[in-house]
Chains A and B, each alone.
Chain A
Amino acid sequence: MKVYVSGLYSGGNPQPGVGIVRSVRQGFPFATIVGVEYSNRVSGIHWEDLDELWIQRPWSELDLDAYGAQVRGVLDEGGLWISGSDLEAMWLASIFPDGHRNLLAPPNGAFKRITKPSVEAADKLPVEVPTFISTDLPDWELHAFCRAHNWRVWLKGPYYDAARTPTWDRFIAARDALTKVWSTDRLFLQAHVSGYEESVMLAAYQGELLGCVSMRKRDITPEGKTWAGDVSPVDPKFEEPLREMVRDLNWTGGGELEMVRDAAGQRWLLEMNPRFPAWVHGATIAGHNLPALLVQAAAGVNARRAKPLASEFTRVVLEVPVRDEFPLPALPEPFAGAIGHSMKHPSGLTSLAERLHKADAELIGIAEEEAVADGIPQVPETFLDDIAAYDLERLQTPEFLYMGSTAEQLFRRAGERAHRLSTNEVQVVSGYSIKTNPDERLIGLALENGFLAEAISLLEVQKALKVGFRPDQVILNGPGKWWPEGMMPKERLHAVFCDSVADLDRCVDALATGEMDSRHVGIRIRTPNVVSRFGIPLDSPGTFRALVEAVERLPAHVAFGVHFHMASSNIGVAQWWHLFESMLKWCRAIEQLTGRTIEILDMGGGWFPDDWHSSDESRFVRAVERVKAVLPRVTQIVSEPGKAMAQPSMALAMRILEIQEHEDDSIEAVVDGSIAELPMYAFQPHRILRQCGESGALQPLGRGKTHLMGRLCMEHDIVATNVALPEGTRAGDVLIFCDAGGYDRSMSYVFGRG
C-alpha cells in the first residue's frame, strides 16, 4: 500500500500533512508513505515517518498539465492520495471533477457548495453563520456594516487569511493586502462572534461518513491556531445531519467544520475546510484515527485500531534531523536595506490561487447573490439636485459646496422627530454641535428647527448668540468651556456640563459669585470600558466616590443633569446603545447615592448620518421610555446627532489635474484637492461623483484601480484609493466628494495654499 500525503508545511500555521502521516503510520505500520511537497523549504518533509518524498517545483513554476498526468498515473497504479492543502485539493478536483477511487479529496461539485462564508451545504447542521457581506459592495455599505457590528469584523480571503479591521483605514490596508496576496477582489467582511472555538473533523469515502470527532481549542497561538485541545465524540444531533450532508455532497476525504460556540451555547460556523485539520493527530491520540479509517475504506485493508492515550492533546516543538538528500536551501538574500526575509509560503501557494482563478473564475463564488457590480454607491436625489445648482465649470476648485436643500431636509426631519418623540412628561430636543461645522447657515437651520446650540468654548457660545440663539438655548460643555476668559454670558444658560471634578468646583464657585448662571448644571461622565479622554471617570471605586461627593456640593437651586458622549460611528451602533443602557445604570446609582435627581440628560453623539436618519424610530421611542422608567424625574432629553446633521450638508469639489496610466493597469490621477480639505479621508468613505463631459450628468464612481492623489507634496496625500474613473475622464474634469460637511469642513486647513 502506498499513500501519498501532501500539505507538510510545519510552521506556526501548520498544514495537516505531518499529522496525517503520523496517523496513517499508526494505522498501517507497513504502508509506504510518500510525502508530496512543492518546496524543499517545507520542514515537514524531514519527518521520520515518511518513506519517500516526491518534491515538485513550486506551484508558480509547475507544469500543471504534466503534473496532473503524473498524479493520474500514481492513482491509476493504486496509490492513495490524501491532500493536506485546500488549494491543491481544489486543483485536484478540477483534474478529477468526478473524483477517482484513490483520490481521497472531495469532488468538484462539493467545493462549490462549501464555499465560505455561507457554506450552503451545511444548512441542515445545527449551526448559524455569522453575518457577512461581500466586499463587492460599495465602500459606503461596507462602512455601514462595520458600524453596525461595532467594528468587530473580520476581512477574510477566499481560502484562508483573515484580518481584524477595527477602523476604516485598517480595512482599506487589509483589503489591498488580501487582494494582492490571493489575486482576487472576492473577499468578504464577517461579523465577529465572541466565544470558544471548536471544530468537528470528519472522514468520508464516496459519500459515506466513516467517522467524526469534536475538538475544543484549549490553547491557541497568537494567530488563533490550535495548540492544545480536548477531544470528544460528536453530539448525535450534529452527527446525523452531518452524515446526510456528506452523502449529499458525495464527499471523499477529510474535512473540518470550524465553529465558535457563544456564551449561550449556539454554534456559529466559520468555514468548512476540504481536508483534515492540522490537529488531526491530536484526535488519533484520543483514539479517533480518521486518516486510517479513510485509507481503510479506500484500500479495503483493515487499519490497526487506535488505542486512546488521552482525551486531551497538546503540541511541543521538536527538532528533527534534516534528510541528507534534501539539505536546507540557502536563505534568500534580503533586499538591500530591507528587513528580514521573504515570509511567503515556500511552495508558492498564492501563485496556485492566481492560476486557479485563471482556470476557473467561478471557482470562488463568494456571496455572489449579494454582489453589486463595480461597488457603485447609492447617492441621494437631494445631493444631485443640490450639486446641479452649481456651475461646476466655473468653480474655483477645490471648493466646498453647500447642499442647501439636503441640509434643510435633514434639520427639518430631525426637528420633527424630536417633536414626535416628546411626551407630556419628557421633552426631547436636538442639540447642534457647533464644532462639527460652525457654518452660520447650519447653525441658523438648527435654530429654525428647534435645536439647542451645543458649544464647547465661549467663542462658540458667542457664535450661537450671533446667529440668533438666546443664552437659555445654549448648552456649554467640554474641558475648555472657560476659554477665552471674559466671554461668559451674564444671562442664564440652558445647561452647563462639567468635564472634571475641578471644573464642577469652579462652576459651583461661579454660580455662587454670579460669574455664571445656568438653569441646569451637571456632569459629563467618562465611559468605562470605552476609551475616552473626557468627563469624570467612573473606573474605580475611588473616582466614583469623588464624583458622588462632588455632585453633593452642587447648590440645590440648580437643576442637575448628566451628559455623556461617544461617537457611535467609532464604537458601532449596537455598542452605543449598550453604552446608553450602561449610562442609565450609572445615572440611577448617582441619583440614589447623592439624593440629587437628574432632570436633564444630554446624549451624544457622533452619529454617522445613515445610522441616525435611517434608523428605526421605534429604537428612539424605546430609549425615551427607558429613560422615563429608570430616571423618572428627567424632564428633558437632549439628543446630539453630531455629524449626522453636518456631514451630508456639504460636498467638496476638486478638479483632476493629471491622469497617469501605468503598465500594471493601475491609474494615478492628481487632483487639486488634498487631505488639507478632506482630513477625514482615512476615517470614512466619501461618495464621489464625476460630471460627465458630454451629458453633464453626475456619475457616481465605483471601485476600480485608480488612486486619487492630492496636490500636496506629501507622501500620504491620497484622497481616495481603488476608484473607477468613468470612460472619457480627463484632466480638467470636476470630481465631487460628497459627505464632506462634518469634520472635513471644520478641520480643513490652509496647508499648501501659499
Chain B
Amino acid sequence: MYLVEVESAAKDQAAEVVAPGAPSDRWEEFPYSRLSHHGDRCCEMARQWVVAMDFAQLNGASVESGPRWLREKYKWGPSPWPMHWCDVVERDTIDCGAHAALALEVFAARGLAAFPAQLVQKYSKEATDQWRGSWEAEEVSCHWLDGEHIYHEATAVLVGTGELKVWDGSAGSWVNPRQRGGYGSVLSIRVFADSPEAISNGFRWGEQRIAANRWQQIG
C-alpha cells in the first residue's frame, strides 16, 4: 500500500498521536503510492502493455469511462512494496495503491487530467480485523487499518471545469460523492494536484468543494 521507506516514519508518527482528531490525521504525512521503473525494457514493456491494453478494452466507449478491466484482471488484496511496473503486471493480486497507480497512468494516457487521491473510509472493527489478518498472513504492512477506519487510494479525474470524479480502482466503481457516513463511506479525501489553477481554486466533487493537496473532511 505505501512505499516501504516511509512506513517506519509513519508508524512512529501514528504512535505519537494521543487523541486523534479527524480520522485522516493518522495518515497526514502519507505519500500516495507510485510504481517504480527499472529504467529498462522490462518495465517499459509492462507500462506500454497496460496503456495499449486499456485502449483496447475501452472498446469505443467514452474515455471518461472507468478502467474496470484492471479490477477484473487484478484482484484486490495484499501486495508488497516497493513495486515495479514489471512486477505489478505479473501479479494476480494488488492493493489499492497499485490499482490507483495503474488507473492514474491509463487516465493520463487517454489524455485526461488525473490526480492521485487518498481517502479515509469508515467500515467496522470486524472488517478491519479481517483485513489485518489477511495482510499479516502475507507479511505485508497493515497500518492502513485503524479501528473502524481505513486509508485507501483512488484516482481523481477531471471531467468538467473544476469537476472531479473519483475512481476506486480496487472496487471498479466511481466513489459516490453523495454518501454521508455509514459503512464504506468516505470520511476524508485528499487530491494531489500541482497546477496553479487547482491549487488556487480546488475542485468540485458532487456538491462539495475539495481543496487540492490537503485532507478534507466529508459531510
Say how far B208's CB is from chain A's closest CB, in angstroms: 15
Is B60 close to A, CB under 8 A? yes
Residue of B nearest to A548 (CB): B45
Verify B52–A574 contact, CB threshold 8 A. no
Verify A578–B48 contact, CB threshold 8 A. no
Is A581 close to B, CB under 8 A? yes
Verify B44–A575 contact, CB threshold 8 A. no
CB-CB under 8 A from A578, the residues of chain B are 58-60
Say how far B219's CB is from chain A's closest CB, in angstroms: 13
Q: How far is the CA of A444 from the CA of B211 in the complex (A)?
A: 69
Is A618 close to B, CB under 8 A? no
Verify A589–B52 contact, CB threshold 8 A. yes
| Residues of B140-160 whose CB lies within 8 A of A | 159-160
Say how far A686's CB is from chain B's closest CB, in angstroms: 29
| Residues of A495-539 whose CB lies within 8 A of B | 527-529, 538-539
Binary flags per residue of B47-71, CB closer than 8 Å to A gives 1, else 0: 0110111011111111011000000
Residue of A nearest to B59 (CB): A529
Verify B52–A593 contact, CB threshold 8 A. no
Q: How far is the CA of A529 from the CA of B68 in the complex (A)?
A: 13
**Given A232-B178, A263-B61, A528-B57: A589 touches B160 (CB 8 Å cut-off):** no
CB-CB under 8 A from A582, the residues of chain B are 52, 55-56, 58
Verify B52–A538 contact, CB threshold 8 A. yes
Verify B45–A538 contact, CB threshold 8 A. no
Verify B44–A593 contact, CB threshold 8 A. yes
Is A399 close to B, CB under 8 A? no
**Given A544-B45, A592-B48: A575 touches B178 (CB 8 Å cut-off):** no
CB-CB under 8 A from B62, the residues of chain A are 262-264
Say how far B87's CB is from chain A's closest CB, in angstroms: 10
Verify A541–B46 contact, CB threshold 8 A. yes
CB-CB under 8 A from B51, the residues of chain A are 585, 589
Is A265 close to B, CB under 8 A? yes
Q: How far is the CA of A544 from the CA of B90 in the complex (A)?
A: 12
Q: Which of A230, A265, A545, A581 contacts B178 (CB 8 A)?
A: A230
Say how far B204's CB is from chain A's closest CB, in angstroms: 13
Q: How far is the CA of A581 from the CA of B111 in the complex (A)?
A: 15
Q: Which of A262, A528, A541, A589 contacts B89 (CB 8 A)?
A: A541
| Residues of A138-152 whose CB lies within 8 A of B | 150
| Residues of B16-65 whose CB lies within 8 A of A | 41, 44-46, 48-49, 51-53, 55-62, 64-65
CB-CB under 8 A from A150, the residues of chain B are 60
CB-CB under 8 A from B64, the residues of chain A are 263-264
Q: Which of A232, A262, A263, A529 contacts B56 (CB 8 A)?
A: A529
| Residues of A677-696 whose CB lies within 8 A of B | none
Q: How far is the CA of A232 from the CA of B59 in the complex (A)?
A: 32
**Given A582-B52, A585-B51: A574 touches B45 (CB 8 Å cut-off):** no
**Given A263-B62, A263-B64, A542-B90: A529 touches B57 (CB 8 Å cut-off):** yes
Q: How far is the CA of A106 from the CA of B128 in the complex (A)?
A: 53
CB-CB under 8 A from A264, the residues of chain B are 62, 64, 159
Is A382 close to B, CB under 8 A? no
Residue of B nearest to A196 (CB): B174
Q: How far is the CA of A390 from the CA of B165 in the complex (A)?
A: 65
Q: How far is the CA of A311 from the CA of B178 in the complex (A)?
A: 10
Q: How far is the CA of A541 from the CA of B90 in the complex (A)?
A: 7
Verify A541–B159 contact, CB threshold 8 A. no
Residue of A nearest to B66 (CB): A263
Binary flags per residue of A286-320, CB closer than 8 Å to B gives 1, else 0: 00000000000000000000000001000000000
Binary flags per residue of A567-578, CB closer than 8 Å to B gives 1, else 0: 000000011001
CB-CB under 8 A from B49, the residues of chain A are 538, 541, 544, 589
**Given A265-B160, A527-B56: A593 touches B178 (CB 8 Å cut-off):** no
**Given A264-B62, A528-B57, A593-B44: A586 touches B52 (CB 8 Å cut-off):** yes
Q: Which of A194, A265, A575, A593 contacts B159 (CB 8 A)?
A: A265
Q: How far is the CA of A215 from the CA of B46 in the complex (A)?
A: 42
CB-CB under 8 A from A548, the residues of chain B are 45
Verify A585–B52 contact, CB threshold 8 A. yes
Say how far B106's CB is from chain A's closest CB, in angstroms: 12
Q: How far is the CA of A539 from the CA of B69 in the complex (A)?
A: 11
Q: How far is the CA of A581 from the CA of B178 in the complex (A)?
A: 37
Residue of B nearest to A582 (CB): B56
| Residues of A53-85 whose CB lies within 8 A of B | none
Q: List 21 A-B contacts (CB under 8 A).
A: A194-B61, A194-B65, A262-B62, A263-B61, A263-B62, A264-B62, A265-B159, A265-B160, A527-B56, A528-B53, A538-B49, A538-B52, A539-B53, A542-B90, A545-B45, A575-B60, A582-B55, A585-B56, A586-B52, A586-B56, A589-B49
Q: Which residues of A contact B (CB under 8 A)?
A: 150, 194, 230, 232, 262-265, 311, 527-529, 538-539, 541-542, 544-545, 548, 574-575, 578-579, 581-582, 585-586, 589, 592-593
